[in-house]
Amino acid sequence: MQSRMPAKIFFCQLALLVILIQVTPGISEEQKQCEAGFSEPRYAFSVMRKVLERGRILGKVRFDSCSGSSRSLYSPEDTRFRVLPDGTVSVKRQLTLHTGSVSFVLNTWDNAGKKHSVPVFIWNEREQQ
């Protein structure tokens, strides 16, 4: 009986190896299909007032870097705004929406170093009525 145990272990290991070989290509195919980018082609956040105070949270953007992390480093082209690594967009310093809206481009980079940009619009809902 003891001489048959190593044969059973060998066949179990062989079966496990075959399963792993079959599963591995599926995983790498999924990773190849992932395309880094923002979840939306543009973001629009509405506010109810003309003056936006420092620290006001406007909304959230989402960027998929295909790394499994939901955090990215963002660089807004308008310095009056900041975007936290989790995608939260907030007012960095007080501003007034004189024309009822403001827009800026938000940039981030994926793991391969490719730059991704998306337009962000903030508009005063009361001014647009």
Q: Are 34 and 59 in contact (CB under 8 A)?
A: no
Q: Are 122 and 103 in contact (CB under 8 A)?
A: yes
* Least confident among 21-25, 53-57, 77-81, 113-117: 21-25
pTM assigned to the model: 0.71
**For 27-72, how does the pLDDT look when each residue is reduced to its tens digit (9 = 90+)?**
555 556 889 999 999 999 999 999 999 999 999 999 998 887 778 9
**Residue in 121, 42, 36, 109 with CA at minimum distance from that of residue 75:** 109
